[in-house]
Amino acid sequence: MPRVSSRNGHRPQPFASVEEVTSRLGDVGYLADRALATTVFLQARLGKPLLLEGPAGVGKTQLAKALAAATGRPLLRLQCYEGQDETKALYEWDYGKQMLYTQILREKIAQIVADADDLAGAVEAIGAHDSVFFSERFLAERPLLRAIRSPEPVVLLVDEVDRADEALEAVLLEMLAEYQVSVPELGTFTAEHVPLVVLTSNNTRDLSAALKRRCLHLFLGYPSAERELEIIRSKSTGLPDAVSGHLVDVVRGLREQGLRKPPGISEAIDWARTLALLGATEPDAGLLEDTISVVAKYDRDVERALRVLPALAEGERPAPAPEPGGADSADDPGTGAALRAARDTPGRHGAGYYGERTGSPAEPRRVSGSQGERSFVANHGRRTR
């Protein structure tokens, strides 16, 4: 298969054609439609990040994982959340390790300050050795810097970027503009291999026009009935085709009912597995009702869903209900916060999903002055690796 060289001339492009994108993603279990495959192809060719926006559970995150699997590249993931600061995205100095070294080396340090007459002199003497402690040995890379410094090409997933504060969005923007990160104490690191970058957003807040401009932008909506059936089939749920087809129609009908959390592809797959476990061999309204909690996660959604299920199970299409969050909707103010809360179903993410996140929302971490200001493409010694 013909491959075109990458910008540094050493690495082949990951995909030779749109068709190859479709087939290689298909090989790793991700069924992409033409629009998505074309965008991925262009992304790889143009070296641009891909910004995927769309409702929950339509395969945004999964695309990045599939891209990594299809190209054999490691996946680096930055999970965004409110209050996250750049030290968790870029790098921080490994304070614990620095302390450990100073403890172990205290005799040596004592020698360094031994000749100092006063405190200022001692500080000066220690200061002359700053570079030892702010060196690569003590640099704790976070996903963005790791992606830039990686000796091999990677896929970088910046997940749920709409949850990040605007300050972090600005950091991302700068990093994505040049694929460079500047660490004032060390210099500017430039990516040897442009990473395949996927940003996802559920649109809980508007992203800046600048970020959108920087990216190839694609709205990933719910798939067609045929594709959704294909996806369910590909997951070997054990549900007979006829029931799966029926299920897809029911799920699509539910999506029109203005639920607070409309079912995504993932819920459709879960529902198919559940029905298979319960031995469903034909469309059965009773079984659908009994298992509605698999797809409806809020009391009000369950109520609404149960109201329309009999009609949906009969193949009818009840009148669509208004979207939640209208101006007159008391329980759903329609703000980004409400949308986020709606998506935060318990167990949605496993333990450790948010990386080093400790509190909620996290207090911005303080970065000491000695660690220097983070700036990008600053006037520091340019460092290419």
Ligand X SMILES: Nc1ncnc2c1ncn2[C@@H]1O[C@H](COP(=O)(O)OP(=O)(O)OP(=O)(O)O)[C@@H](O)[C@H]1O
Question: Phi/psi at 146 (nearest 5 deg)?
Answer: -60, -40
Per-residue 3-state assignment (H helix, E strand, C coil) for 285-313? HHHHHHCHHHCCCCHHHHHHHHHHHHHHH
Residue number with CB closer to ligand X (25 or 308): 25
Q: Cβ-count burial of 191 within 10 angstroms (0-12 exposed, 13-18 middle, 19+ buried)? A: buried
| CB proximity list for 383: less than 8 A, separation 6 or greater | 186, 187, 188, 189, 190
What backbone phi and psi angles, to 5 degrees, belong to 245?
A: -60, -45
232 binds, among ligand X, Mg ion, none (CB under 5 to 8 A by kind): none
Query: Considering beta carbons, is residue 153 or 263 the nearer one to ligand X?
Result: 263
Residue closest to ligand X (Cβ): 59
Shortest distance (Å) from residue 166 CB to Mg ion: 21
- In the bound state with Mg ion, the residue whose beta carbon lies nearer, of 65 and 193, is 65
Which does residue 79 touch among ligand X, Mg ion, none (CB within 5 to 8 A, set by kind)?
none
**Sheet order of strands, 155-159 included:** 75-79, 155-159, 196-201, 50-53, 216-219
**Site pattern 239..268 for ligand X (x: CB under 6 A):** -------------------------xxx--
Give the nearer residue to ligand X in terms of CB position, either 163 or 374.
Answer: 163
For Mg ion, the closer of residues 307 and 349 by Cβ is: 349
- Which one of Mg ion, ligand X, none is in contact with 59 (Cβ closer than 5 to 8 A by kind)? ligand X
Minimum CB–partner distance for residue 173 and ligand X (Å): 22
From the list ligand X, Mg ion, none, partner contacted by residue 31 (C-beta under 5 to 8 A by kind): ligand X
Considering only residues 26 to 65 of the shown chain, the ones binding ligand X according to CB under 6 A are 29-32, 56-62
Q: Which is nearer to Mg ion, 66 or 250 (CB)?
A: 66
Dihedral (CA of 78, 83, 85, 88) sign? negative
Handedness of CA 163, 167, 171, 176 (dihedral sign): positive
For tokens 């709409």, the residue is 162
Comparison of 171 and 265: residue with beta carbon closer to ligand X: 265
Which H or E run includes 37? helix 34-46
* Segment lying near Mg ion (by CB under 5 A), choices 44-52, 58-66, 235-243, 294-302: 58-66
Single residue of 6, 22, 61, 79 touching Mg ion by CB under 5 A: 61
75 binds, among ligand X, Mg ion, none (CB under 5 to 8 A by kind): none
23 sits near ligand X (criterion: CB under 6 A): no
Rg of the chain's alpha carbons, rounded to an integer?
Answer: 25
- Residues 263-282 interacting with ligand X (rule: CB under 6 A): 264-266, 269
Displacement of CA 319 from its chain's centroid (Å): 35
Size of the site for ligand X (CB under 6 A): 18
The DSSP 8-state label assigned to residue 38 in this structure reads H
Length of the chain: 385
Contacts with ligand X, residue ranges (CB under 6 A): 29-32, 56-62, 200, 202, 231, 264-266, 269
| Residues at the site binding Mg ion, with contacts judged by CB under 5 A | 61
